[in-house]
Amino acid sequence: MTAPRPWQSEADRLGHADPSDPTGWFERLWSSARSGDVTTPWDRDDPHPALASWTGAPAPGLATGTAVVVGCGLGADAEHLARLGYDTTGFDVSPAAIAAARERRAGSPVTYVVGNLLDLPHEWAGAFDLVVEIYTVQAVSRSVRDDMTAGVRSLVAPGGTLLVVQAATGTADEDGPPWPLTRAEIEAFGQDGLSAVSIEELAGPGSPGRPGTWRAELRRA
């Protein structure tokens, strides 16, 4: 049996394979991982540090309301929100990713479902008190960036909160995947009734002076 190939080089290849289908490659990548051809992509069990430090250390189980994690992958962030007490949904465009999340998080209270940010169910419009989007928008080519951003905004309930974490860039011409976000692109989450509470650029580990990570918190009135 041959060892699985690193998923990163497969993502580089697939991410450029068909510009007319900017999200189709995710299912191909996750399926290759499920069949053991490549290593597991975006493999982590701890919440992203920018989410963990934002939620702080409240008493587990005390949060109320609904939460959704966009492009949830293996579900580490969704599990974190569920532990805090949110009634949590995690969705991903890739059925193979959702199958992997359900398998890894067997017994979890999180609802893991297949869903496409570019074609969301009507009933999800304004349905979530907390929306967490980490690295999905940057993973998809700029050709659909405005639509991806609008999809994220549409999920936030009246009075709800959106937390966005993305790699930062100073220029919009970098070749991806991923395609990091400029300040203007992160500010674009603040439309359609959403306004920014804070936009921070967190330093990347060990890379002083280089573009870091955006963490933006937004609210709907």
Ligand X SMILES: C[S@@+](CC[C@H](N)C(=O)[O-])C[C@H]1O[C@@H](n2cnc3c(N)ncnc32)[C@H](O)[C@@H]1O
**Residues near ligand X, by CB under 6 A:** 23, 26, 42, 48, 71-73, 92-94, 97, 116-118, 134-136, 139-140
Pair 186, 164: CB distance under 8 Å: yes
* Cα–Cα distance, 59 to 63 (Å, whole number): 8
Shortest separation between residue 48's beta carbon and ligand X, angstroms: 6
* Cα–Cα distance, 191 to 146 (Å, whole number): 11
Residue with tokens 């990713």: 97
Residue of this chain nearest to ligand X (CB atom) = 71
Structure tokens at 189: 């989450």
Considering the complex, state which of residue 105 and residue 221 has its C-beta at the smaller distance from ligand X. 105
Considering the complex, state which of residue 4 and residue 158 has its C-beta at the smaller distance from ligand X. 4
- Residue 219, number of CB atoms within 10 A of its CB: 15
Shortest separation between residue 111's beta carbon and ligand X, angstroms: 15
Look at the chain and count its residues: 221
Shortest separation between residue 136's beta carbon and ligand X, angstroms: 4
Residue with tokens 């549409």: 154
Considering the complex, state which of residue 47 and residue 160 has its C-beta at the smaller distance from ligand X. 47
Shortest separation between residue 28's beta carbon and ligand X, angstroms: 10
Structure tokens at 14: 């697939």
Considering the complex, state which of residue 36 and residue 121 has its C-beta at the smaller distance from ligand X. 121
